[in-house]
Amino acid sequence: MTMEREKEPMQTIGDAWRKGAAALREAGVDEAEANAELLLLHALGIGKAELLRDLREPFPDSRRAEWERLLARKAAGEPVQYIVGGQSFCGRRFAVTPSVLIPRPETELLAEAVLLEAERWQGAELTALDVGTGSGALAVTLAAERPAWRVVASDLSPDALEVARGNARANGVEPRIAFVQGDLLEPFIAADRGGAAREGLAADILVSNPPYIPSADLPGLQREVREHEPRLALDGGADGLAPYRRMAERMSLLPQLPRLVAWEVGAGQAEDVAELLRSAADWSEVRFVRDYAGIDRHVIAVRR
């Protein structure tokens, strides 16, 4: 009697996770296991608890082609957030596309600093302006956390504004955010254009995470950032300070000086940006907020 050949054991979900992480490591992907986990959750349409529960379950054949496709995209250097279509920020999920910068954890500290500093005006109907809103992470967070505020979000990119508007809708705050296309502070400065008077925006809070990478440093960025995230959201000019310089120079043309200015900056730029703000107005305080790596990442200027 001929013995039947023993069948190869069916690959489990846990096997797929381990092999996927190994393939990503071999491709030079940082944090390969964490990336493989996010891709696996997306491929299977499950949460972390379900993944841990079902590690020994057979990997569904119906999802195998999709799993391999996702791994190939990540191995080629595409950011996992673009692959799965989203990123968490301050406890909320934001859709992200290659039209917008992926929200970073350090930017959550900027949102927290603004909310904390503004507690002194608790109950006031403040107007907050988010310049260069990108995905809308800051604008949506401020609108969600402070329902009494009026929030205005601007961006030079119409595609970014569409992403931001969708995120505002998904998080239930779209009716309370005005979206404006334009370059930095220009849409909010009162001016006479072609004989037509244009009323500026009287903002109490000005928050921004503008491009701050020096142009010459762009080729040295991580592959995921250099090849996939929008250059418009990265390139800060020759020294990385061009957007701050322009905002500081034009701030006096706003209908009123903001009570609070909060800007994210690149490593080593905090003192230079602080000097730009000091030259623009007389502030009660200018201070820095450090990120998780101990870098002065945010410049906060307050007028009391």
User: What residues pair up with 12 in beta bridges, in sequence order?
Assistant: 58
Residue numbers in the known binding site for S-adenosyl-L-methionine are: 132-136, 155, 209
- How far apart (Å, rounded) are the C-alpha atoms in residues 233 and 238? 15
Q: Would you state the pLDDT for residue 191? A: 65
Domain end point (choices 52, 76, 100): 76
Residue numbers in the known binding site are: 132-136, 155, 209-212
- How far apart (Å, rounded) are the C-alpha atoms in residues 222 and 21? 19
| Tens-digit pLDDT profile for residues 48-106 | 999 999 999 999 999 999 999 999 999 999 999 999 999 999 999 999 999 999 999 99
Q: Classify residue 21 as left (phi > 0), alpha (psi -120 to 50) or beta.
A: alpha
Cα 209 to the center of its chain, rounded Å: 9
**Nearest Cα residue to 282 out of 262, 298, 263, 303:** 303
178: which DSSP letter?
Answer: E
The boundaries of the domain holding residue 66 are 13-76
Verify that 46 and 105 share a domain, yes or no: no
Domain assignment present for residue 3? The answer is: no
Q: Would you state the pLDDT for residue 124? A: 80
Contact 79, 102 (CB under 8 A): yes
Joined together, the tokens standing for residue 303 give 């007028």
Domain assignment present for residue 194? The answer is: yes
Verify that 59 and 19 share a domain, yes or no: yes
- How far apart (Å, rounded) are the C-alpha atoms in residues 183 and 101? 16
Domain assignment present for residue 161? The answer is: yes
Which residues touch 304 (CB under 8 Å, ≥6 apart)?
120, 259, 284, 285
- Read off the pTM: 0.89
**Nearest Cα residue to 260 out of 161, 76, 129, 104:** 129
CA angle 118, 287, 129 (to 5 degrees): 45
- How far apart (Å, rounded) are the C-alpha atoms in residues 170 and 39? 22
Domain assignment present for residue 5? The answer is: no
Verify that 46 and 100 share a domain, yes or no: no
Which residues touch 28 (CB under 8 Å, ≥6 apart)?
none
Verify that 223 and 284 share a domain, yes or no: yes
**For residue 185, what is the domain's CATH number?**
3.40.50.150
Please tell me the total count of domains within the chain.
2
221: which DSSP letter?
Answer: S
Verify that 99 and 71 share a domain, yes or no: no
Q: What residues of the chain score a pLDDT lower than 50?
A: 1-8, 194-197
Residue numbers in the known binding site for substrate are: 209-212
Verify that 154 and 296 share a domain, yes or no: yes
Verify that 184 and 234 share a domain, yes or no: yes
Verify that 28 and 146 share a domain, yes or no: no
Domain assignment present for residue 193? The answer is: yes
Verify that 63 and 106 share a domain, yes or no: no
